[in-house]
Each structure stands twice: as C-alpha cells, then as structure tokens.
Amino acid sequence: MPAIVLVGAQWGDEGKGKATDLIGSSVDYVVKFNGGNNAGHTVVIDGETYALHLLPSGILSPNVTPVIGNGVVVDLAVLFEELDTLQARGIDTSRLVVSANAHLIPSYNRTLDKVTERFLGQRRIGTTGRGIGPTYADKMSRVGLRVQDLFDEKILRQKVEGALDQKNQLLVKVYNRRAVTVDEVVDELMSYADRLRPMVTDTSLLLAGALDEGKVVIMEAGQATLLDVDHGTYPFVTSSNATAGGACTGSGVPPTRVDSVIAVLKAYTTRVGEGPFPTELFGDEGDRLRKAGGEFGTTTGRPRRCGWFDAVIGRYATRINGTTDLVLTKLDVLTGYDPVPVCVAYEVDGVRYDEMPMTQTDFHHAVPVFEYFEGWDDDITGARSMDDLPPAARRYVEAVERLCGAPVSAVGVGPGREEIVAVRDLVR
C-alpha cells in the first residue's frame, strides 16, 4: 500500500516538516532517509512550536512510528537531547526506531567540518558545521562508523583506530589541531550504546513488512532538490541525495513500491549558505521578504537569503523527483505585494533558457526573466478551500501548477497545522 516520498523542491526550508505533520494522522511510518541534524523543521501545533533536527517530523503524531533510515548520519548526543526535550514536553518518543546501518557522526568530523570551511575562506560552502560532509565522505571512503558498531566494542575500536590513522594526520599536520585519542572517541560513542540498543532494528525489513500489511509509509527528505549532491548546485550542496531517488537508497524501500512523490515548495525562494541564487533580492527588498516570512534558520539562526519564486527550479524539481503533488507553502507571506514577480526562464549571455542550464558556469550567470502577476491585499490565513482565496491568489497557484508541471494539492496559508487549503488528499 502507499509508500509516499516527500521532498523539498528548492534549497530547503520549504515547510517539509509542516507538510509531513499535516498528513501525520493518515500515516503509519515516517522515515527520514538522508541528512542529519543539518535539517531544521519547525512545526506549530495548537500554538506550540516544535523545532526538530534529527528526528523525523512524524514523531509529533501520536500513532506514527518514526524511523531513522540507513541513509541518515546520526549525532548521538543530538539524538538523545532531542528525545529528552520532546519527552519533557509530553511527546511520547518511545516508538522511534533507528537503522543498524545508519552512520554515526564522530566528534572529529564536527571539528573537520568547521576547520575545512575556515580553510576554504572565500570558497566556503557555508555548511551547518554539524560534521555532515566529512561523515558522508567517510561512508564513501569506507572508513565510517555505523550504529551497529556500538554493539561490538572490539570492532568499533578497530574502526576508530583505522579512521584516526588518517584523521589525526589531517587534524595535526594540515589543520594544526590536537590529535584525538581512540579511547576518547570510543568512550563517548559507547556511552550511548545501552540507551540506543532497544531502538535499533533492520528498518528496511520492518518497512517491507509494513507495506505488505497495507500500512502507509512516508519517506521524508532533509534538505532539498537544489542541495542534492548529484542534482543540486554542486559544490554548494549538502553531501547526501535529498531527491526522490535518495528515498529508496536511504530507506531500503525499492522504487517499485513508491506510489507518489510530494514536492514541497515555497511561494517564493530562500537559501541558506553560499552558492548561486538567480532570483535573490538584496537590501530593503530582501529584508522585507525575510521579515514577512520569518526567514531565519531553524538550525543555525542565520538569516535566509530571500528572492522571488523561480519556476525554472520548480520545473526542474518536478522532473528530477517525478512529482505527483505539489504542496505550495507560505502563500500568505506574499499578501500585500503587487505585482508579484515570478521567474519563468533565465537569460544567459543573451540566450533564453526554459530549463536549468547544463553547466554551473551558466547557472551562475543566469539572469531571471520575470512575468508579473497581480497581487492581493486580503488576509488569506483563514482560507481553507480554493474558493476562499482571492481570485489573484488563485491565479498565482494556478500559474505555479502550470509553470512547474504538477498539480498543487495543498496550499499553506500560515504556520499552524490547520492553516492549509486542502485541494486533494495527499494520502490516496
């Protein structure tokens, strides 16, 4: 029965957490399949705000089993801190399951993330500094540490020794930092082993059984399409596959079982960190949108870069993810703008591009071609159906559908769980 993938269509922070939470009552499992605590999802329920980083958003729905899939990188200190914080606020976190194959973020990778950024200087990525990149690099280099290694201390020690042979050379000789001892790494990781053990399982087997029984499984991305290591604006990306294909490798649910792909996109565009952003607004214009949308990072508190809606990116995200449903968020933030510019194509050195340019050089030089849509002034936060929206707002939604090539199934009109215009069921 339904396996649903939910991804971000832009550069992150589209409101994936809210979209997952929205369908939480019709879902049995929510699987985080990529990334780690670089993500930040804010969910507002009955006026209470929850900020999640490592935990899947499904943890806030009472009947959902939240799953940390094999594709995730886990900082154990953050995991338990987040669990304790939610537990203290009365959220039952006891159903969480964690893949035995998920990788662990050791402390030396947090250090390396920060020092490599410093050394990159002008060429830095603007990472979240959480050790994400170095941990995925270790996974690919086959010197990573996995959750299951905590259950065999001898093996864990051997792996840490192997990793530190390389890491200490880097830390000491290249970055002028102190060497890390095997004991300190092993002791820190082992201090979590007993508490983690009951949560650990073969999550791909668990999900296969759940799908066989007709349960609804949603696979929720951290980050987003343009931050995907293969399909994003490389090298200004995260180090995992945040697109729909990543849902399969990162969870062990095969492509033949996926029924639909929900792509969440904001009515305008934001980006955190460095990298190209064709529709970016600067100065007062950028400040106005940032203030209207409350665009400050959930994870690092950094002001998000803001700009107009970019339909070239929207179309690209539909193609790369095979989007079946769009969830358009934050339409309320555009209230009061008139006209509302939408980027429908790029111009690069006098040539029009209707699709993403093939090379990064061209993308860096892309100048937006804008179409201007009529704005609206009425407060739309109370709208619950398309008919409640002013005609100009409806036309904006229809333009997004047409330009991105997928139907809009829900429209966000405020941060609250109930502040949504539902067009058609997302779980079918």
Binding residues for ligand IMO (CB under 6 A): 8, 11-13, 38-41, 125-128, 130, 132-133, 222-224, 227, 238-239, 272-273
The pair of structure tokens assigned to 358 is 């093939």
Amino acid at 360: Q
**Complex with ligand IMO: residue 75 or 149, whichever CB lies closer:** 75
Task: Give least dist CB 193 to ligand IMO, A.
Answer: 26
**Which of ligand IMO, ligand GDP, Mg ion, none has residue 414 at its interface (CB below 5 to 8 Å by kind)?**
ligand GDP
Determine what percent of the chain falls in helix, strand and coil, rounding each to the nearest 5.
40, 20, 40
From the list 123-131, 133-141, 193-201, 298-306, the region that binds Mg ion by CB under 5 A is: 298-306
Q: Based on the residue annotation, tell me whether 165 is a catalytic residue of this protein.
A: no
Which residue's structure tokens are 């934050």?
A: 330
Site string for Mg ion, 130-169 (x = CB under 5 A): ----------------------------------------
Q: How far is the CB of 208 from ligand GDP (least distance, A)?
A: 27
Confirm or reject binding of residue 21 to Mg ion (CB under 5 A): no
If the CB atoms of residues 13 and 345 are measured against ligand IMO, the closer one turns out to be 13
Please say which residue, 12 or 144, places its beta carbon nearer to Mg ion. 12
DSSP, collapsed to helix, strand or coil, labels residue 169 as helix
DSSP 418: T
How far, CA to CA in Å, does 405 sit from each of 316, 363, 408? 10, 21, 10
Which DSSP string corresponds to 18-33? HHHHHTGGG-SEEEE-
DSSP states of 50-101: EEESSS-GGGGSTT-EEEE-TTBEE-HHHHHHHHHHHHHTT---TT-EEETT
Decide if 51 contacts 21 (C-beta within 8 A): no
Peptide bond into 339 cis (omega under 30): yes
Strands (E), 126-284: 200-201, 217-220, 258-266, 269-271
Cβ proximity to ligand GDP, 357 vs 415, nearer residue:
415
Q: Which of 147, 200, 333, 366 contacts ligand GDP by CB under 6 A?
A: 333
Question: Least distance in Å: CB of 312 to Mg ion?
Answer: 22
Determine which one of 13, 21, 75, 325 is catalytic. 13
Q: With CA atoms as reference, report the closest residue to 173 among 216, 115, 124.
A: 115
Provide the minimum distance between the beta carbon of 330 and Mg ion in the complex, in angstroms, as a whole number.
13
By CB under 5 A, residue 252 contacts Mg ion: no
Q: Is 40 in the site for Mg ion (CB under 5 A)?
A: yes
Residue 186: CB minimum distance to Mg ion, A: 33
Please compute, for residue 70, the number of CA atoms within 13 A of its CA located in the half-sphere on the CB side: 19
Q: How many Cα atoms are found within 13 Å in the side-chain-facing hemisphere of 189? A: 28
Question: By Cβ distance, which residue is nearest to ligand IMO?
Answer: 273
| Residue 146 near ligand GDP by CB under 6 A | no
Q: What is the dihedral of CA 307, 286, 14, 405, to 10 degrees?
A: -20
> Smallest Cα–Cα separation from 117: which of 302, 233, 234, 273?
273
From the list 28, 41, 149, 228, the catalytic residue is: 41
Of 235-243, 273-281, 345-353, 411-419, the segment contacting ligand GDP by CB under 6 A is 411-419
Nearer to ligand GDP, 23 or 366 (CB): 23
C-alpha triplet 181, 119, 360: angle, nearest 5° = 125
Residue 128 interacts with, from ligand GDP, Mg ion, ligand IMO, none (CB under 5-8 Å by kind): ligand IMO
Nearer CB in complex with ligand IMO: 127/321: 127
Find the binding residues for ligand GDP in span 12-31 (CB under 6 A): 12-18
Q: What are phi and psi of 262, to 5 degrees?
A: -95, 125
Q: Which of 3, 6, 11, 13 binds Mg ion (CB under 5 A)?
A: 13
From the number of C-beta atoms within 10 Å of its C-beta (0-12, 13-18, 19+), residue 57 rates as buried
Among 24, 35, 36, 40, binds ligand GDP (CB under 6 A): 40
Mark out the alpha helices in 170-253 (DSSP H runs). 182-190, 193-196, 203-212, 244-249
Which residue, 241 or 335, has its beta carbon nearer to ligand IMO? 241
The interface partner of residue 99, options being Mg ion, ligand GDP, ligand IMO, none and the CB cut-off 5 to 8 Å by kind, is none
- Please report which helix (H) or strand (E) contains residue 340, including its range: strand 340-348
Site string for ligand GDP, 278-317 (x = CB under 6 A): --------------------x-------------------
Residue 53 annotated in active site? no
Residues near Mg ion (CB under 5 A): 13, 40, 298
Which residues are tagged catalytic? 13, 41
Given the rule CB under 6 A, which residues bind ligand GDP?
Answer: 8, 12-18, 39-42, 44, 298, 329-330, 332-333, 412-415
